[in-house]
Amino acid sequence: MSTTALASLAAQFLPSSASASFTLGIDNARHLLNRTGYGCTLNEARTFAQLGSDEAIELLLSAAEAQIELELPSWANERVLSLYEQNQLDSDSRRSRRQLFIMRKEELQIWQTRKILETDSPLREKMVMFWHRLFYAPIVDVPEPTQYCQYIRIIREHAFGDYREMLRALMQNPAFIQAHNGHRNMRLRSDERFTTTLLEHMTLGPGVADRRDLRGMQKTLTGLSLDKDDGSYVFNPEQHVDGDKTVFEQTAPFEPVDAPDLILQHPQNARWVVKCMWQEFASEEIEDDVLDELSNDFRRHHSNLQLLQSILLHPNFWKNEHRGALMKSPLDLIISTSRLFDQYLLSAEETFEVSKRLGLEIFHQNPSFTNFGWVNPSTLPLRLRLLRRMSRGTEQMDTALYDWAQDQNLLEQITLPIPPQRPVTATSVQGKIAAHLLDLGFQLK
């Protein structure tokens, strides 16, 4: 047996985190940067192409986990009016307050869009958006924009931190609770919406908890309430259903504070988080052995950063079958095209609007979408229209891209995850670039 064969055999039996690092090259650099960010500029592709895979991933992760100054709007720390003060308002001030809140909510949505456009670490924003999608809280369903800012802080603080901490913090966050009607679940008037959303969409996946579990959890979660002076979270024992509840085969007088641990102990929780993150970064499909392996690890460490790291380092992340296996989200599409030209063709406001039109409204994600749902008969023509308009003109293309585009192979590698579906017949450089952007494969990442 030759040494190389031995090495490859050895590699198969090594734990995945110890997989041999390899020099990326343009093709792999595009794959990595498309998945961990919003496309890449030529410079980034060139730089990353020179790096080893482990080194590149290390670089991306260390940039991403750094906590940054949030620079939330100046009103983010404003006090929430007490219930008494709110009741004192006359109808005019109520109306102007409503108007103000509508404007501030849009301001927050644009703020997040700008973060994504201007960040020094696209991976940080991608991860933040991932958690915002998993633990979604539609901004329209949260009364006060300042409360939403707290929710934003929690997601950002824990995006690369401890999953358990994140779950605990969210379950005591007024914005998160109100978005899902958690505060309406009371002793004499039960409301199951918060419980169902939490278990089926966010932490365990559909169909895991049975009727009895849902009922038990709903009772456990009675009494979530908001302080009538400052709107912060309080537990109101008067609205709580006392006595024993049975959740996941355990019976005890559980209170809301026990709920996160009940969820964390369920074996399906880790599997669900792993599956969702795999679908965000690697592929719609996750192999059974990969799921077992990653979720066993995750149950041990509950570190979001480590989970992401082991996904990116996993040999299956690099497998050919997973190239181009994900649809570009509207933000992926808009921003990756801009970055290819090395300049932002759309402002934050425009990006937000266009993305909304293509089905992704920041802070208002539809939880039931699957990745493939981004591209459907009504959005595909819009997407192509956008690309057609974006690839007009010549001066907007970086001259370096122009030089590159002369080389069919390089142009293909930087734009398409799989070979072009239609032969490129254009002869002009601009025509070639446009042909690659309009190829169906450009919809994929």
Among 63, 418, 424, 429, the residue binding another protein under the rule CB under 8 A is 418
Q: Which of residues 176-205 bind another protein (CB under 8 A)?
A: none
Handedness of CA 83, 87, 92, 95 (dihedral sign): positive
C-beta separation of 193 from 181 below 8 A: yes
Q: Least distance to another protein from the beta carbon of 331, Å? A: 15
Both tokens of 1, joined, read 């047996």
Among 100, 372, 400, 403, the residue binding another protein under the rule CB under 8 A is 372
Q: For residue 411, how far is the Cα from the chain centroid? A: 28
Q: Least distance to another protein from the beta carbon of 117, Å? A: 16
Alpha-helix runs per DSSP H in 79-162: 83-88, 91-118, 122-134, 145-158
Q: Is 389 in the site for another protein (CB under 8 A)?
A: yes
Q: Is 334 in the site for another protein (CB under 8 A)?
A: no
Containing H/E element for 352? helix 348-357
Nearest CB to another protein, comparing residues 291 and 382 = 382
The piece of 73-81, 155-163, 210-218, 429-437 that touches another protein (CB under 8 A) is: 429-437
Q: Is 428 in the site for another protein (CB under 8 A)?
A: yes
Give the whole-angstrom CA distance, residue 169 versus residue 156.
12
Nearest CB to another protein, comparing residues 187 and 275 = 275
Q: Is 210 in the site for another protein (CB under 8 A)?
A: no
Q: Least distance to another protein from the beta carbon of 420, Å? A: 11
Q: Is 381 in the site for another protein (CB under 8 A)?
A: yes
Among 59, 214, 380, 410, the residue binding another protein under the rule CB under 8 A is 380
Taking CA atoms, 100 is separated from 75, 77, 105, in Å, by 11, 15, 9
The piece of 50-58, 273-281, 305-313, 433-441 that touches another protein (CB under 8 A) is: 433-441
Q: Is 385 in the site for another protein (CB under 8 A)?
A: yes
The piece of 16-24, 258-266, 289-297, 432-440 that touches another protein (CB under 8 A) is: 432-440
Give the whole-angstrom CA distance, residue 120 versus residue 115.
9
Q: Is 114 in the site for another protein (CB under 8 A)?
A: no
Q: Least distance to another protein from the beta carbon of 115, Å? A: 21
Nearest CB to another protein, comparing residues 265 and 428 = 428
- How many C-beta neighbours within 10 Å does residue 268 have? 18
* Cβ contacts of 400 within 8 Å, gap of 6 or more: 42, 43, 342
Alpha-helix runs per DSSP H in 239-328: 259-265, 267-281, 288-301, 304-313
Q: Is 403 in the site for another protein (CB under 8 A)?
A: no
C-beta separation of 208 from 199 below 8 A: yes
Give the whole-angstrom CA distance, residue 288 versus residue 294.
10
User: Per-residue x/- marks for another protein, 280-299, CB under 8 A?
Assistant: ----xx--------------
Q: Is 393 in the site for another protein (CB under 8 A)?
A: yes
Q: Which of residues 342-361 bind another protein (CB under 8 A)?
A: 345-346, 349-350, 353-354, 356-358
Containing H/E element for 225? strand 224-226
Give the whole-angstrom CA distance, residue 361 versus residue 11.
43
Residue count at the site for another protein (CB under 8 A)?
Answer: 44
Among 77, 88, 366, 394, the residue binding another protein under the rule CB under 8 A is 394
C-beta separation of 72 from 43 below 8 A: no
The piece of 142-150, 193-201, 202-210, 428-436 that touches another protein (CB under 8 A) is: 428-436
> DSSP string covering 29-72, please?
HHHHHHHHSS---HHHHHHHHHSBHHHHHHHHHHHHHS------
Work out the burial of residue 339: count CB atoms within 10 Å of its CB; fewer than 13 is exposed, 13-18 middle, 19 or more buried: buried
Among 49, 166, 375, 401, the residue binding another protein under the rule CB under 8 A is 375
In this structure, what DSSP letter does residue 392 have?
Answer: -
Give the whole-angstrom CA distance, residue 396 versus residue 41.
13
Q: Least distance to another protein from the beta carbon of 345, Å? A: 6
The piece of 10-18, 113-121, 235-243, 317-325 that touches another protein (CB under 8 A) is: 317-325
* Cβ contacts of 246 within 8 Å, gap of 6 or more: 212, 213, 216
Q: Is 139 in the site for another protein (CB under 8 A)?
A: no
C-beta separation of 407 from 352 below 8 A: no
Q: Is 319 in the site for another protein (CB under 8 A)?
A: no
Both tokens of 65, joined, read 């986990």
Nearest CB to another protein, comparing residues 243 and 423 = 423
- Residues contributing to the site for another protein (CB under 8 A): 284-285, 321, 324-327, 345-346, 349-350, 353-354, 356-358, 372, 375-377, 380-382, 385-386, 388-390, 392-396, 418, 421, 428, 430-431, 434, 438, 440-441, 443-444
